[in-house]
Amino acid sequence: MAIIINLDVMMAKRKVGLTELAKEVDITLANLSILKNNKAKAVRLSTLDAICKALQCQPGDILEYVESDDDEEDV
């Protein structure tokens, strides 16, 4: 997938743990872990909003587009 979720990087920069962020965002540890480990297929904008508020960052600090060879084959 061409979208990379850099939640782990932002969490490290802010020195926030998984459990602490999960409570603040009101998301399960399992779902936050899926996001953190870049295994998510989708993310709700309300969840992204809550994460950005909790980490005091912009969506672009968490989401990154990286062009891959697979993308060209899909066209």
Model confidence pLDDT, tens digit, residues 9-55? 999 999 999 999 999 999 999 999 999 999 999 999 999 999 999 99
Is residue 74 domain-resident? no
Instruction: Record the pTM.
Output: 0.84
Q: Tell me how many domains the chain contains.
A: 1
* CATH number of the domain to which 15 belongs: 1.10.260.40
Give CA–CA dist 3/13, Å, rounded.
20
Give CA–CA dist 26/10, Å, rounded.
18
What single DSSP character describes residue 66?
-
Range of the domain at 23: 3-65
Is residue 71 domain-resident? no
Tokens read off for 71: 């993308």
Is residue 46 domain-resident? yes
pLDDT tens readout for residues 50-71: 999 999 999 999 999 998 776 5
